[in-house]
A and B are shown apart, each in its own frame.
Chain A
Amino acid sequence: MHEMSIAESLIRIVEAEMANHGLRTVQRITIQHGALSTMVPEALDLAFEAMTLGTALEGAVLEYEKVPLSLRCSKCETTFSPEVRSLHFAPCPSCGEEFAHTVLTGKELNIAHIEGDT
């Protein structure tokens, strides 16, 4: 349950952005999280809600965009996205290599944008 720490960092970043752009309130925060990320959206919602009660961020909605896992084959350098069900048994569709693929996307944990009123 490290979503408490994630929520804390998230709130700090959003508060700084609000000050930078003169936002009084925030309605929506969009978060990109990779397929490998260990963040659980429901847990982050809960932590965020608890930590923003009585603040300018109270009631803001977190929206999630999942970034799929994409790999580069260690042998032939083809880029591909394995089926989620077989994340770890991911033979390359072009040469069949199973090992040591490089993770290109799927580890993200980013704020993409925030929407609010000035």
Chain B
Amino acid sequence: MSKTIPVIRNILDANNRLADQLRNVYAENSLLALNLMSSPGAGKTSLLERTLSDLRDELRMAVIEGDLQTDNDARRVAATGAQAVQINTEGGCHLDSSMILEALKQMDLAALDVLFIENVGNLVCPAEFDLGEKAKVTLLSVTEGDDKPEKYPMMFAQSKVLLLNKIDLLPYVDFDLERATRFARALNPEIVVFPVSCRTGEGLEPWYAWLKDAALAERR
């Protein structure tokens, strides 16, 4: 006999339930978890190197590094003195909550204020997978073009923070900060935009202020 069964469930239900577990773990430890996303080469690791070094005395931070291969990024991050746990996805284009739960086993969360999850470099897939984070933070470098928020709406629509990186290169590229910001804001009422250069350090202070405020809010 033929039957039609109504289901109405989010397909990524299993991941979302693990993400809820992660949310509880972060909350129990008053930990600010941030999901850092961008294209490959936009400057996620450079941003972390700077942030971890500059705020070393103010915040206790650690990183989960997601890459297809190599532990290059984890080694760069570890050189700042922060703990870095590497996840190699072996071809997987995004991190999911089960990987994060696994990585957390190697970390002392009670001794941390901020956990950065550096996602796999990709402007598409990571946007669909909730990692239980307090905020998604997207980096876009000015060499990539100001139309990216328009072309990859899901990622920018989901993010609380947008860092426009490599602004030291603005004289050499056709990138309109205002246009990129406008497209990012079109579908996202609360996105906060920080133009920065991880190379020169320009514009990092407002990002640091946001980070410290957000970390403090978790401890209340």
Interface residues of A (CB under 8 A from B): 1-2, 5-6, 9-10, 12-13, 17, 21, 23, 27, 31, 36-39, 71, 74, 87-90, 98-103, 107-118
Contacts and interface: CB of A to CB of B under 8 A. Distances in A.
Contacts of A111: 7-9, 11
B11 A21 contact: no
B129 A2 contact: yes
Give the interface centre of B3, B4, B7 by most chain A CB atoms within 10 Å. Answer: B7
Interface residues of B, number: 37
Interface of B: 1-15, 92-94, 96, 124-125, 127-129, 149-150, 153-154, 157, 182-183, 185-190
A117 B2 contact: yes
26 contacts: A1-B93, A2-B129, A5-B12, A5-B15, A13-B11, A23-B3, A36-B153, A36-B157, A39-B128, A87-B150, A87-B153, A88-B149, A88-B186, A89-B186, A99-B185, A99-B189, A100-B189, A101-B186, A107-B154, A110-B10, A110-B11, A111-B8, A112-B8, A113-B4, A114-B5, A114-B7
Contacts of B127: 38
Contacts of B4: 113-115
Contacts of B150: 87-89
Dominant SS at the B interface?
mixed
Contacts of B185: 99-100
A6 B92 CA distance: 12
Contacts of A36: 153-154, 157, 187
B3 A116 contact: yes
A12 B17 CA distance: 14
A109 B125 CA distance: 13
Given A2-B125, A9-B15, A113-B7, 5 more contacts: A2-B128, A6-B128, A10-B11, A21-B3, A100-B189
A110 B189 CA distance: 25
Given A37-B128, A88-B149, A101 B187 contact: yes
B52 to A, nearest CB: 29
Contacts of B93: 1-2
Contact of B187 (A2, A5, A88): A88
A118 B14 contact: no
Closest 7 CB pairs of A and B: A2-B125, A100-B189, A111-B7, A88-B150, A113-B6, A115-B4, A38-B124
